[in-house]
Amino acid sequence: MNHLDEQTETIARWIVGCDHIVAFTGAGISTDSGIPDFRGPDGVWTRRDAGLPPPRWRVPPDRVGPNASHLALAELQRIGKLRFLITQNTDGLHRRSGIRPEILAELHGNGRLMRCLGCDLMHERQEVGWNTFKWGPGYRTQKPMPGQPACPDCGGRLVSNVVNFGDPMPQREMMLAEQHARRCNLMLVLGSSLLVTPAAALVGLALGSGARVVLVNRGETPYDGAATLRVRAGIGEVIPPAVERAKRSLGEHQPKR
């Protein structure tokens, strides 16, 4: 058994033995879906800092879908092990993989959703007829344009659900994320450089509460020395096989939550 197999086996064993698992995901979990990350060797910020144009998407945006790692986390939810999922991603792939909205905190928003400034309800872009080519992304900082769709419930102004730099973090999602970070006994930190706060501080909350923290990321992070298990590999190499091993050990008899 090589080192990566040993680490995968350890993660599987911890999944079996823990009853309050929280996942924390960053851009790295979506690279296998064809979406560029930010701080990887060919990431968006890495190329920008080198004076290079943004990286190309390997898959046309309209064909991007959840990958094996997204689906593995959804499977952990199905067998009653995953109690909460915190993500910094705005791609909406966790929702599309089957993660229930009530156990999901999209801390930086969701690019597929529009939010009403009047009643705070969320709507799919397609549902309200928002044409990005005509009205742009609809960020809060942009001036409203004539003819753009309004909220079908209250008539209020619709803005992108994405949280940009300088925007306030979503209070409810942060509160729930902090609660679960303090209560979990295993946190799976997948594909985040952990440089963006306050989201990254949630890992410190989990560690401070005595949880095991598995950190899977190819690049360095500020929590490398603190993580219980540090895995320098692709997420798809580790998490899907670890979940499958855990399922075999559990015999698929776990209660559904």
Known binding-site residues for Zn(2+) equal 116, 119, 151, 154
For residue 116, give the nearest of 82, 145, 80, 154 by alpha carbon.
154
- Tokens 């742009």 label which residue? 136
Contact between 114 and 128 under an 8 Å Cβ cutoff? The reply is yes
Two tokens at 247? Answer: 């399922």
Classify burial at 236, counting beta carbons within 10 Å of its beta carbon; exposed 0-12, middle 13-18, buried 19 or more: middle
DSSP letter, residue 91: S
Active site residue 108: yes
Contact between 62 and 80 under an 8 Å Cβ cutoff? The reply is no
Catalytic residue among 3, 70, 94, 108: 108
Q: d(Cα 87, Cα 185) in Å, to the nearest integer?
A: 18
Residues 6+ apart with CB under 8 A from 181: 22, 86, 187, 202, 203, 205, 206, 209, 211
Q: d(Cα 27, Cα 64) in Å, to the nearest integer?
A: 14
Q: d(Cα 181, Cα 85) in Å, to the nearest integer?
A: 10
For residue 210, give the nearest of 227, 185, 181 by alpha carbon.
185
Q: Which residues are catalytic?
A: 108
